[in-house]
């Protein structure tokens, strides 16, 4: 176990990388902009980049890309009456004019032609303010939309005091471990009964084999898929218990290896509503100040005690693989 020294300079490195990604998105709106591509631009592992981006910006990558595309489309329609909806859609990365129309309807309550007509009329020559930022008449924003996301980075100082702060955080070198698991595929956010069912199923298998009595046994939850890019129905998670390497498994019980390495282990006591806040604090507050960046291994939750307290809270350790910069 090692102590860490907060690194204020690294916070600037994180901001710089997020800004590079934002600039890249703005310059490549017509491209597909995949998670692999954007995490490579940022220099972060794809396992962790979506969490870091959300913690800093306050919206997901897909939400940000959609917002910037729609903002550029709104400005083009307002400032260049010669452009058709199909042309604007193509320039802003929408699959078709109908796709742009659906987004416009969802965001503004009107279709693109209505927006263009309203903006071109003298009675509406002022300023329209929205969650996209400020879209001004007679100003060409088609080449630069940094004003649409500067507020997100500027607001990070206010976000620093948000989230659920860990009671303690240790730097730990974990050895490679073997785990037996029960896997679930589908939506899981906030479903306490689902997690209880999975833990019970795993314990029903592990108990008769003596694994629950082992002092070294640890319970883990590993989240395999990125909810930013994976449909809820396809999300995978594994509820696990550490077991000897030669353990035999079959049927619903699988076995896999959790890789060795250095991890940041943040200790919390959480109720069912606080997990997202805890993860946000680790990725958005502690990590950028820590002197570390996330390594290319999956994060997981570890449960020293699967039983809840009288207040309905669980002791949870959020484990993030790290490496020095």
For residue 40, being part of any structural domain is answered with no
Residues 216 and 293 in one domain: yes
For residue 265, being part of any structural domain is answered with yes
For the ranges 27-36, 230-239, 256-265, which has the lowest average pLDDT?
230-239
For residue 249, being part of any structural domain is answered with yes
According to the model, what pLDDT value does residue 119 have? Answer: 67
Residues 178 and 138 in one domain: no
Domain that holds residue 210: 168-324
For residue 269, being part of any structural domain is answered with yes
Question: Based on the number of CB atoms within 10 Å of its own CB, is 251 exposed (0-12), middle (13-18) or buried (19 or more)?
Answer: exposed
Residues 76 and 216 in one domain: no
Residue 144 pLDDT > 50:
no
According to the model, what pLDDT value does residue 220 have? Answer: 96
Between CA 75 and CA 77 the distance in angstroms is 5
CATH number at residue 95: 1.10.10.60
What number of CA atoms fall less than 13 Å from residue 193's CA on the CB side?
Answer: 0
Mean pLDDT, all residues of the chain: 81
According to the model, what pLDDT value does residue 4 have? Answer: 44
According to the model, what pLDDT value does residue 67 have? Answer: 87
According to the model, what pLDDT value does residue 308 have? Answer: 66
Contact 262, 321 (CB under 8 A): yes
Residues 177 and 291 in one domain: yes
According to the model, what pLDDT value does residue 10 have? Answer: 57
Residues 104 and 217 in one domain: no
Contact 276, 223 (CB under 8 A): no
What percent of the chain has pLDDT above 70?
A: 80
Decide which of 110 and 307 is more confident: 110
Between CA 77 and CA 113 the distance in angstroms is 8
Question: Based on the number of CB atoms within 10 Å of its own CB, is 201 exposed (0-12), middle (13-18) or buried (19 or more)?
Answer: middle
Q: Which residues pair with 128 in a beta bridge?
A: 135
CATH number at residue 234: 3.20.80.10
Residues 95 and 139 in one domain: yes
Residues 133 and 187 in one domain: no
Q: Pick from 101, 126, 154: which residue ends a domain? A: 154
For residue 38, being part of any structural domain is answered with no
108-115: average pLDDT: 87
pLDDT in tens, 204-225: 999 999 999 988 899 999 988 7
Q: How many helices (H) and strands (E) are present in the chain, helices listed first?
A: 12, 11
Decide which of 81 and 249 is more confident: 249
Residues 220 and 149 in one domain: no
Decide which of 2 and 127 is more confident: 2
Residue 48 pLDDT > 80:
yes
127-136: average pLDDT: 36
Q: Pick from 127, 154, 181: which residue ends a domain? A: 154
According to the model, what pLDDT value does residue 216 have? Answer: 85
According to the model, what pLDDT value does residue 288 have? Answer: 87
């Amino acid at each position: 176990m090692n102590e860490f020294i907060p690194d204020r300079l690294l916070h600037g490195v994180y901001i710089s990388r997020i800004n590079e990604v934002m600039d890249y998105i703005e310059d490549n709106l017509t491209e597909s902009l995949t998670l692999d591509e954007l995490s490579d631009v940022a220099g972060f592992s794809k396992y962790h980049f979506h969490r870091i981006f959300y913690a800093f910006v306050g919206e997901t990558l897909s939400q940000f890309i959609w917002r910037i595309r729609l903002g550029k489309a709104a400005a083009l329609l307002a400032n260049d009456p010669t452009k058709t909806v199909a042309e604007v859609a193509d320039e802003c990365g929408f699959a078709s004019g109908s796709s742009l129309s659906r987004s416009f309807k969802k965001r503004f309550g009107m279709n693109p032609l209505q927006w263009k007509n309203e903006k071109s009329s003298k009675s509406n020559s002022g300023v329209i303010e929205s969650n996209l930022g400020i879209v001004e008449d007679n100003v060409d924003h088609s080449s630069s939309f940094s004003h649409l996301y500067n507020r997100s980075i500027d607001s990070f100082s206010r976000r620093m005091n948000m989230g659920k702060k860990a009671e303690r955080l240790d730097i730990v070198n974990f050895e490679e471990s073997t785990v037996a698991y029960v896997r679930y595929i589908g939506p899981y956010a906030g479903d306490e009964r689902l997690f209880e069912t999975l833990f019970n199923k795993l314990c029903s298998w592990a108990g008769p084999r003596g694994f629950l009595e082992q002092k070294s046994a640890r319970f883990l939850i590993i989240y395999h898929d990125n909810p930013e890019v994976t449909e809820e129905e396809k999300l995978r998670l594994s509820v696990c218990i550490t077991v000897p390497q030669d353990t035999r498994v079959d049927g619903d019980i699988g076995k896999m290896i959790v890789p060795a390495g250095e991890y940041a282990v943040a200790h919390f006591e959480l109720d069912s509503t606080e997990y997202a806040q805890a993860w946000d604090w680790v990725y958005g507050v502690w990590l950028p100040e820590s002197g570390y960046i996330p390594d290319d291994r999956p994060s997981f939750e570890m449960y020293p005690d699967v039983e809840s307290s009288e207040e309905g809270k669980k002791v949870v350790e959020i484990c993030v693989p790290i490496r020095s910069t």
